[in-house]
Amino acid sequence: MTETERLRHGLIVSLAGRVERMGRTAVMKLLYFLQTLKGVRLDYYFTLYHYGPFDSEVLSDLDYAEMSGLVKKTLHRYPRSESYIYSVGEKGIAPITEHEAALNWVVEMFGSRTAGELEMASTIVFADRKAHEKKRTLSAAELATLVSEIKPYIKEARIKAEIDRLRTADVLIALRND
């Protein structure tokens, strides 16, 4: 097992111990935020997928963590759906202290968000980073329109509110101040 794989598995366990009701979407998006916003080197290659940034390796790492007893998966039934929630397993390793500040920030900023809110926030960050890669700057309205085109089922007012929240956290790098 490589150091990167150990780090990934350790972070999954750490997140499982800190985030209540953490499902697969939350694992995906929180690891995306750790890598993209906090610079934790996880060597994932996220692409935009239906529910926002996605890398199948995250699911492989989550499966490995579950099969190894690092995390456990529990089925939760809701009136109209069901989902799996991850928590620390009996072989869960000690939290990763090297990235404690990054973990704390990501959990504080995003840990209580719903899967839909994480999808929206991560898509905003993804679109912002793609614009920055292309050396483009965007107004908040332009970014909201862009994200609205990617996620037409999310109301633009919600997207704008999330852009404001992310702007306040100083994580959008392609955003102009106009």
For 128-139, write each residue's pLDDT tens digit: 999 999 999 999
Helices 156-168 and 140-150 cross at an angle (nearest 10°) of: 130
Yes or no: say if 16 and 87 are a contact pair by the CB < 8 Å rule: yes
Burial 135-169 (b: 16+ CB within 10 A, else e): eeebebebbbebbbebbeebeeebbbebbeebbee
Q: Which two tokens stand for residue 54?
A: 């996605």
Q: What is the pLDDT along the chain (178 residues), one digit of tens a residue?
A: 899 999 999 999 999 999 999 999 999 999 999 999 999 999 999 999 988 999 999 999 999 999 999 999 999 898 888 899 999 999 998 667 789 999 999 999 999 999 999 999 999 999 999 999 999 999 999 999 999 999 999 999 999 999 999 999 999 999 998 7
Q: How far apart are CA 9 and CA 48, in angstroms?
A: 23
Distance from the Cα of residue 113 to its chain's centroid: 10
Largest pairwise CA distance in the chain: 51
| Of the candidates 60, 74, 51, the residue with the CA atom closest to the CA atom of residue 12 | 60
Q: How far apart are CA 44 and CA 4, in angstroms?
A: 10
| Of the candidates 44, 47, 51, the residue with the CA atom closest to the CA atom of residue 7 | 44
Q: How far apart are CA 7 and CA 3, in angstroms?
A: 6
| Of the candidates 35, 56, 28, the residue with the CA atom closest to the CA atom of residue 113 | 28
For 101-153, write each residue's pLDDT tens digit: 999 999 999 999 999 999 999 999 999 999 999 999 999 999 999 999 999 99
* Amino acid residing at 130: K
CATH number of 1-111: 1.10.10
